[in-house]
């Protein structure tokens, strides 16, 4: 990944460093993935949920706005160059969901679309306020993206989960 732009212009105009796109499950680390991926599109074609799309230079990107990843493994088994490699890691990826302040319950509007869509029941609405606010259990969240596309406020995003130091 490129070094962050620390110029005065970037500071004044709020320019941020580009973040790596969300890759399919079991993708190698970004640099290794870019080296291995031939942009053949086999993983995109094999995805039964249609949540993988061709991104920059034809390489696959996971778009959770299109639906959820069910971790079926079809993309990984279709990847001949092994840019997606289930044997390299136990977890499909290190993504987690986060909820921004534009979330409807945080604006005083009752909504639980994300909770209803979550197959892992990682999103709860504890009754601690007049309108319950969503919380995400990081131990249950798989980063599948089921909650992202159903959010009417587009308040949910997936990002890399912080890795624990040994």
Q: According to the annotation, is 118 in a ligand binding site?
A: no
DSSP state of 91: S
The verdict on whether residue 144 carries a ligand-binding annotation is yes
C-alpha closest to that of 49 among 70, 23, 28: 70
* CATH code at 95-160: 3.30.70.20
Q: Where are the domains of the chain?
A: 19-88, 95-160
Structure tokens at 143: 């980063």
Burial class (CB in 10 A: 0-12, 13-18, 19+), 68: buried
The verdict on pTM exceeding 0.85 is no
**Do the domains 95-160 and 19-88 match in fold?**
yes
Task: Compute the residue count for the chain.
Answer: 166
Query: Is 37 known to sit in a ligand binding site?
Result: yes
Q: What pLDDT is attached to residue 9?
A: 60
CA distances from 154 to 78, 101, 104, 113, 143 (A): 31, 10, 10, 11, 16
What CATH architecture does domain 19-88 belong to? 2-Layer Sandwich (3.30)
Is 72 within any annotated ligand binding site? yes
User: What is the tens place of the pLDDT at every residue in 58-76?
Assistant: 999 999 999 999 999 999 9
Consecutive 10-residue averages of pLDDT for the chain (166 residues): 52 63 96 97 98 96 97 97 89 94 96 98 92 95 98 96 54
Query: pLDDT value at position 3?
Result: 44
The answer to whether 111 is a known ligand-binding residue is no
């Amino acid at each position: 990944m490129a070094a962050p732009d620390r110029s005065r212009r970037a500071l004044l105009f709020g320019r941020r460093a580009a973040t790596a796109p969300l890759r399919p499950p079991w993708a190698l680390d970004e640099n290794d993935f870019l080296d291995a991926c031939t942009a053949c599109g086999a993983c995109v074609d094999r995805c039964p949920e249609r949540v993988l799309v061709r991104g920059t230079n034809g390489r696959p990107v996971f778009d959770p706005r299109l639906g959820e990843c069910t971790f079926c493994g079809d993309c990984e088994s279709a990847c001949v160059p092994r840019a997606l490699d289930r044997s390299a890691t136990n977890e499909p990826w290190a993504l987690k969901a986060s909820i921004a302040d534009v979330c409807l319950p945080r604006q005083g509007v009752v909504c639980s679309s994300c909770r209803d869509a979550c197959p892992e029941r990682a999103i709860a609405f504890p009754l601690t306020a007049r309108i319950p606010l969503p919380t995400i259990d990081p131990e249950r969240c798989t980063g599948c993206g089921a909650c992202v596309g159903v959010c009417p406020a587009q308040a949910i995003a997936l990002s890399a989960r912080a890795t624990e130091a040994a």
